[in-house]
Structure 1
Amino acid sequence: MKLRTILIDDENKAIQVLRNILERFSDDIEIVATANSVTTGLEVIARHEFDILFLDIEMQDGSGFTLLRQLPEIPFEVVFTTAFNQYALQAFKVNAIDYLLKPINADELFESIRRVQKRRIINGKNDRARLTSLLNEQKVSKLAVKERGKITFIEISDLSYIKADGVYSEIYCKNGQKYVTSCNLGHYERLIEEDGFKRIHRSYLVNLSEIKEYLTTDHLVVLHNGTFLPVSKPMRKEINNLISK
């Protein structure tokens, strides 16, 4: 089975060079899409299922690392392609399969492809899960919400609360906008718990700055927009202490 790939680089010439080399491995590789920025890269990633992402690091509208941090999950292997060698350590810290310096060497690229094939056979999804986890540990200022085939960027400071809905989550913004995503509440808790958000109930993650008052008798928090949210028994004392500060 062919490995489906996406190429992201802000230099069209670099994409064409990479495409020309990959076409030599036509029995193993299928290029499903290309993009020339972080923004368009996120768009093509949202639209396609694929196995390998060949990703430039320094681009006009951000870095390859920025792009990866915006993704809710990373179900593919990453090969960085760059003219700069100073990012190698950072790349391998997020468990990239390879780090290729430009100009791309065909033999090195061939070895990267073989390494992907071997990793997929031996390790399955374990490394990709680790990559997602490592990226989620990094502080972010925006959430990338994938909904109905598009990705919307939401400032974390604009969030009011997030509600669990089975394996899905409902994201509520201060302006009343609502988004439904396929990521569970635990995913968002790990991403933004250090940004002033608290899990007050197994079904609710709330922006603490949005809490107007705490009704201790009814065990409810009241948000500035008038929303009432329940507080679970294990969290009542902690929430009371936080509100009382």
Structure 2
Amino acid sequence: MITSVIIDDEEDGREAIASALTKYCPEVTISGMYATPEEGIAGIRQLKPSLVFLDIQMPEMSGFDVLQQLSPVTFEVIFVSAYDRYAIKAIKFSALDYLLKPIDVDDLVHAVKKVKERLHTEKNIYQYQSVVNNIQLKSGKIEKLAIPSLTGIDFVDTADIIFCRADGSYTTLFLKNKQSCLASKNLKDFEHILAESGFCRIHHSYLINLRHVQKYIKGEGGQVLLTEGHYADVSRRKKEAFLALLDTL
């Protein structure tokens, strides 16, 4: 059996999850339901559940604040949200599960199935640390990115990323001061989470930080000169949109 708790400030939200679990996920037992983050934190510390259903938007303290209070996270989490596109970006980037309200039964069953599979493998606490850091947003822009790597997790200021280059199913990030790191995410994942933080996909292999553009070199597609002497090709298909963005800087 999987022991669980539900943290949601809305009674209807708690009851909807509890009812669906009872009917469609009998392998999950509900040890406690909490209306406030503070009660939920105390309940988790006391009951030590295997799984927490955690509402993202709650008064005074978000679901991510709850995780920070409980770090390191030793339980599985399924996030619940009425819809927060920035939060969901960070959750998906960290390869974690979320449910949108109103709860869809098929989504719930699928999320619980994935939790069951993960419970039989080594826990990756880095995923939860990653999502907490990736959600620290100001004006919708991510300022610090928690990047899953082959050895753990790297924390990088987005302002320090000069550009990202696709390397198969991985991505190499080129950083200030001649540093770099290899991330176990593909370039599309980085494009998705950084699109509103001043980054532009100029080629199927390159995602650049517009703050580091020093010169555009004309050509069929052209090239950009970036800080620290880096060059990146611009594809013909991406050229028009890229030049339009440059005009807004």
TM-aligned CA distance change 1:164 to 1:68, over 3 Å: closer
**RMSD over aligned Cα atoms:** 4.6
Deviations 1:31-80 (A, max 9, x none): 9xxxx852874x657xxxx7x3278xxxxxxxxx97993672334467xx
Deviations 1:117-168 (A, max 9, x none): 961389979xxxxxx9xx8xx6432211012342222222221111111111
SS in 1 for 2:195: helix
Are the counterparts in 2 of residues 69 and 140 from structure 1 also a CA contact under 8 Å?
no
Corresponding residue for 2:93?
72
SS in 1 for 2:191: helix
Query: Which aligned pairs between 1:126-205 and structure 2 lie closer than 5 A?
Result: 139-205=141-207
Aligned pairs, number: 179
Query: Which aligned pairs between 1:1-245 and structure 2 lie closer than 5 A?
Result: 3=2, 13-19=42-48, 22=49, 38=68, 41=71, 44=73, 52-53=76-77, 69=90, 72-76=93-97, 92=100, 119-120=109-110, 139-217=141-219, 219-243=222-246
Question: TM-score w.r.t. structure 1 length?
Answer: 0.54
Name whichever of 211-220 and 190-199 sits farther off: 211-220
Aligned-residue offset at 1:6 = 11
Tell me the distance in 1 between the aligned counterparts of 2:149 and 2:68. Answer: 18
Q: Percent identity?
A: 24
Q: Which amino acid aligns with 1:233?
A: R
Are the counterparts in 2 of residues 72 and 144 from structure 1 also a CA contact under 8 Å?
no
Deviations 1:146-202 (A, max 9, x none): 123422222222211111111111111123221211211111111111222111100
Are the counterparts in 1 of residues 90 and 193 from structure 2 also a CA contact under 8 Å?
no
TM-aligned CA distance change 1:166 to 1:116, over 3 Å: same
Tell me the distance in 2 between the aligned counterparts of 1:68 and 1:201. Answer: 22
SS in 1 for 2:194: helix
Segments of 5+ residues of structure 1 without an aligned counterpart are: 23-28, 56-64, 79-91, 98-114, 126-131
Corresponding residue for 1:25?
none
SS in 1 for 2:162: strand
Segments of 5+ residues of structure 2 without an aligned counterpart are: 7-36, 53-65, 80-85, 116-130
